[in-house]
Chains A and B, each alone.
Chain A
């Protein structure tokens, strides 16, 4: 059995993936609450204060998760995969893979770990993490990581986007992009597992994917 399996993700990649997933889910939930408090607290409660606290904790986690992922991309002994994210190389492959996904073509090339659309989407999400963190930092009133004065260091974000109400709107739009990404990402994992029959879906839990039997 083990023979037809390929070790696709080592523990570091898997943990980083799930830590980021959990932090995004928490960020979305607490973010919805902070934007529009849908429960009210009774006497002695600190509901909003806790929501904000967890929002900030998860925000730090998401940022650190990206830092770890970037570190792995360059320094992982298992698989430093930064070359897979070349924009030009991936853009060249888009017509092939897109043609397959919109049923114009019956098959596509074998791209290894990430197909071009996938690589570009992941790269875009890395930039989204940066963008959402910048807008978040611009809204934060206090010192980030305990020593960076948020108002002084990220006021430029607010000025660039036209004031704090617009920073909030961009922050909310970014959240929706994360939600949409997660929906599409989950669907694609299921779809590809079903069509390639290579256990793509479970590989993010177990680390192992089925080898091509061709």
Chain B
């Protein structure tokens, strides 16, 4: 194995120079193989693919309306792990947030990438469609996307903002922010987009999709929302470490309680795990150290399209419902249903009194003629 794992000494030197041991690197390749559903035999191939990619293709990373949390996740400050390395060797030609260049230079780099084409376009952030609400260097973000989407070989929308608007698109969405897929449709560009819904994106998902592309030359199989099935086919709830407490009916009722310290299920604290599809319980965050529910917070559903609005009230079971005709007044489904039942009961009481008063009950004749 040592001899024929397909990685050149030169590449490993470079890897070790960046503080990642050969062992760590291979371990990462193994983990990626597992994520991609490939056997151990693929590990050397993955390593070789990554090495080959250290020349090409480059990645262009565009930032639109977001808080750059995904970039933050990418360069996470703990220690330079193998996942960062992959993105490192991929030569990210352009990333406004972390590149050293500025001004004219930046435009030149991007123009150059466009000329050469064949890059993987990673988009972070939603796209404002209201004029003047989101501009880079005097250009509308929508136009920037249009310009750079054309020459790309693959488009990855990373994070909830890029997939469906996310936090910046939350109601009332003053800048009319939309996701990349919708924006491309609006622009008349028909290119499939891989959506990596999550806030922020899980860097392991991102690198796995890229490695998958390098290795097999194609994008992974997607679900109906454009999310890779390998990460988005099971709910959080189905793999949650607190699931046994759920089945037993043991729930945290308030934070700071004994139940919380016992690690009970967070369902009643608004956990959206049962309606959220993502591999978070398995892949976790920050080099697999922990994740939302592991850290004691309920899942807020960030892996689902339409988050945040569709999961609003992070600590509520379900979002509120706008009552038609009452101008934005919201109530829960429970309250609306109960109110309707009470109104019905009151109506029945009135009708019963009416029936008695009119002699229908207890009178001689039935209603039928």
A168 touches B224 (CB 8 A): no
With A165-B275, A187-B352, A195-B360 known as contacts, the answer to whether A108 contacts B248 (CB < 8 A) is no
Number of interface residues of A (CB under 8 A): 50
Q: By the criterion CB–CB under 8 Å, are B337 and A176 in contact? A: yes
Bound CA–CA A101/B362 (angstroms): 16
Q: Is A159 an interface residue (CB 8 A)?
A: yes
> Among the listed A107, A155, A168, A169, which residue makes an inter-chain contact with B369, where contact means beta carbons less than 8 Å apart?
A107
B362 and A164: CB pair below 8 A?
no
Task: Tell me whether A148 is interfacial, beta carbon within 8 Å.
Answer: no
Across-interface contacts of B310 in A (CB, < 8 A):
162-163, 165-166
A39 surroundings in chain B (CB, below 8 A): 249
Q: Is the Cβ of A45 less than 8 Å from the Cβ of B344? A: no
- B20-28, B175-183, B314-322 - the one binding chain A: B314-322
Q: Can you name the residue of chain B whose Cβ is closest to the Cβ of A142?
A: B238
Residues of B216-252 contacting chain A, CB below 8 A: 224, 235, 238, 246-251
State whether A179 and B337 are in contact (beta carbons under 8 Å apart), knowing that A187-B348, A197-B366 are contacts in the complex.
Answer: yes
Do most interface residues of chain A lie in helix, strand or loop, or is the interface mixed? helix
Residues of A within 8 A of B249 (CB): 37, 39-41, 45-48, 51
Contacts of B362 in A (CB 8 A): 194
Residues of chain B lying within 8 A (CB to CB) of residue A107: 365, 367-369
A41 to B345, CA, bound (A): 34
Q: Do A165 and B311 have beta carbons less than 8 Å apart?
A: yes
Q: Which of these, B305, B311, B345, B361, contacts A195 with CB under 8 Å?
A: B361
- Residues 237-281 of B contacting A (Cβ, < 8 Å): 238, 246-251, 267-268, 272, 275
Task: Name 16 A/B residue pairs within 8 A (Cβ), A-sorted.
Answer: A36-B334, A37-B249, A46-B248, A47-B248, A48-B248, A103-B354, A108-B369, A163-B275, A163-B305, A168-B318, A169-B319, A169-B321, A176-B336, A180-B340, A194-B362, A196-B368
B residues sitting closer than 8 Å to A (CB atoms) are: 224, 235, 238, 246-251, 267-268, 272, 275, 301, 304-306, 310-311, 317-319, 321, 333-334, 336-338, 340-341, 344-345, 348, 351-352, 354-355, 358, 360-363, 365-369
